[in-house]
Amino acid sequence: DEKEKFEPTVFRDTIVQGLNEAGNDLEAIAKFLDSAGSRLDYRRYADTLFDILVAGSMLAPGGTRIDDNDKTKMTNHCVFFADEDHDAIRNYAQVRAVKG
């Protein structure tokens, strides 16, 4: 009985790459997340996924980002980088709600 490895950094890199490739189109981001859901274990990496969709990268205890300012480990397609208006935040929340 072989146990599956827990690799949140590999999960992060895969999600961040897909989000960055989707560009600024929230519809493309939603499609990427939907298609990736069949390959990636969202339940197992729920905390990591939440961190990425809200803060743009994985968070350490205390709330600091774990990306060492490496652009390949972070995305601007997240709530923290969204325009500060009701509609923009609602659109990000709707993308997250589909996955959450």
Residues 16, 57 contacting (CB under 8 angstroms): yes
Residues 52, 58 contacting (CB under 8 angstroms): yes
pLDDT in tens, the chain (100 residues): 467 788 999 999 999 999 999 988 888 998 999 999 889 999 999 999 999 998 999 999 988 888 888 888 999 988 888 888 888 888 777 765 555 4
Q: How many CB atoms lie within 10 A of CB 18?
A: 19
Cα gap 81→56, rounded to integer Å: 8
pLDDT (0 to 100) of residue 44: 92
Tell me, what DSSP letter sits at residue 91?
H
Radius of gyration of the chain from Cα atoms? 13
Please state the φ and ψ torsions of residue 59, each to the nearest 5 degrees: -115, 140
Domain ranges of the chain: 6-92
